[in-house]
Amino acid sequence: MLATARTRRWTAVIAAALALVLAYPTGAQAAVGDLGFVRTISYNVPGAVHIGPVNPLDWASAATMRPNGDTVYVVAGSDGGSGTAMPAISSFRRDAGDRLTLTGCMGGVTGCRPTRAGDVVLPDRLYAASSVVAVGSHVYATTPAAVAGFRTAANGDLDTDFCVWDHACGDVSALPGLTPWSTADHTLTATADGRDLYLYAASSTKGAVYHLRRDNATGRLAFHGCVGEAMPGCTPIGRTGVMKSSGDAVLSADGRSLYVVARNPGSVTHLRRDPASGSLAEVGCVSETGTGGCNVPVTHGLYRATRAAITPAGDSLYVSGAGGVTHLRRNTVNGDLAYHGCIGFATGCRGDGPRGTYMDVAVSPDGASVYGNVQDAGATWGAVAHLRRASDGGLTYAGCVGEGQPALCRQIGPTGVMNHAGPLLAPGSRVLYSLGVHWRGALSQFTRQTS
């Protein structure tokens, strides 16, 4: 028995080492930022680690990591209305080797603990969830009808849940102009100290950012104002057409700037933040079409913009989109943005890398690499593209790893786990996680070359 166990351990070690070797191009020496595939967690996928009898990754939509790095939380908002999947939020413990293991879940999925508002069980509370953030000992997920809050245990497991804004519970007053299901694909972000959260909500005709002050002990959120366009009860930003669609909201590390990304018209709006009060004021924007009087870049890289990421030093903002990744130089004093180029296949960009839609973008903590989760229009393949970053923030394509494009990308082995690309997590310079968003859901782990 002992010999068998030892043999199995050595077999696993050799297989892991071989996987890393095969992840790099033949004859090429790995450079800083290059990725090596480690494993995928999914449900009954050949070549992947089987998640088990309970699958809370079914139609996963967003992921985040606890501030201390020990737990990853994934929210799955169900399948958009067919009734074949229920929403859930799950916790994955992260070990010393960066591997993730499912430790629990809450929601409507059979086998998960139910979500509650007081004594009322609401299995669909997370329906259509699109964003999740971890702040201190709490986790918050957003839906078109709620901001659902969860307390966590000391070990990171989900403990209890509570309602912070929801039409089905009355412990928090309604947010101005924001009625359930009037907006979709909400995005939530939090300051580094966890004091303030900002909710970006938009529809085809209106949009706003809501400032929510957080009580550190209870996790409850209190409304502290909002700014936007055409949203009753919110301070107008003075422009129209730049905050009327889903996208992203990201805070600079210094806490002085919030950037709102809107897919339509392909814009980035700069909101300056008062660090003392947390209040916001619009001070500028960049738009692919010039909508709202915004500055217009010389290329179409912001077309159908999806997500954004800021470098740790705060000198660059990168925006993913249908045609590539756009680089906006950031003034580290006042937060203002200036177009500095794009890479991809949008008109005017430097054509390189996979020809597909960049669904998300992430910057490595050491600032040396930018990564994009990319997929083709028909979602037949997906990959993580590595974009090497120069001292001025400019990007150079450095390869990709994924599935379905063997002539272009190094293949990971499992299939059907990256063809619907989702968010990227870059929690440390040595690891990257990619979320697969599809009917089974998947979490893929990659090692990152650091020297």
pLDDT in tens, 261-275: 999 999 999 999 999
pLDDT at 1: 38
Q: Confidence class of residue 20 from pLDDT cuts 50, 70 and 90?
A: very low
DSSP 163-212: EEEETT--SSPPPTT--TTSSEEEEEEE-TTSSEEEEEEE-SS-EEEEEE
* Lowest mean pLDDT segment, chosen from 7-16, 314-323, 372-381: 7-16
- Of all residues in the chain, the percent with pLDDT exceeding 70 is 91
* Lowest mean pLDDT segment, chosen from 19-23, 80-84, 131-135, 139-143: 19-23
pLDDT at 171: 52
pLDDT at 152: 96
pLDDT at 279: 98
Looking at per-residue pLDDT, the higher value among 372 and 115 belongs to 372
pLDDT at 5: 43
Q: Confidence class of residue 173 from pLDDT cuts 50, 70 and 90?
A: low
97 has a pLDDT exceeding 70: yes
* Lowest mean pLDDT segment, chosen from 22-26, 115-119, 166-170, 251-255: 22-26
258 has a pLDDT exceeding 90: yes
* Lowest mean pLDDT segment, chosen from 56-60, 61-65, 350-354, 438-442: 438-442
Round to whole Å and give the CA distance between 183 and 175: 12
3-state secondary structure of 339: strand
* Lowest mean pLDDT segment, chosen from 2-16, 67-81, 109-123, 163-177: 2-16
Q: Which pTM value belongs to this model?
A: 0.92
Q: Are 33 and 447 a contacting pair, CB within 8 Å? A: no
21 has a pLDDT exceeding 90: no
Long-range contacts from 24-33, C-beta under 8 angstroms, 24+ separation: 24/410, 25/399, 25/410, 30/449, 31/388, 31/398, 31/449, 32/368, 32/369, 32/449, 32/450, 32/451, 33/364, 33/368, 33/369, 33/386, 33/388, 33/398, 33/448, 33/449
pLDDT at 364: 96
* Lowest mean pLDDT segment, chosen from 180-184, 255-259, 342-346: 180-184
Query: Span 43-54, mean pLDDT?
Result: 94
pLDDT at 113: 94
Q: Tell me, what DSSP letter sits at residue 407?
A: T
pLDDT in tens, 375-407: 998 889 999 999 999 999 999 999 999 999 899
331 has a pLDDT exceeding 90: yes
Query: Span 169-177, mean pLDDT?
Result: 68
7 has a pLDDT exceeding 60: no
Query: Span 167-178, mean pLDDT?
Result: 69
Q: Confidence class of residue 23 from pLDDT cuts 50, 70 and 90?
A: very low
pLDDT at 116: 82
3-state secondary structure of 100: strand
Alpha carbon of 146 to those of 129, 175, 258: distances in Å?
9, 10, 22
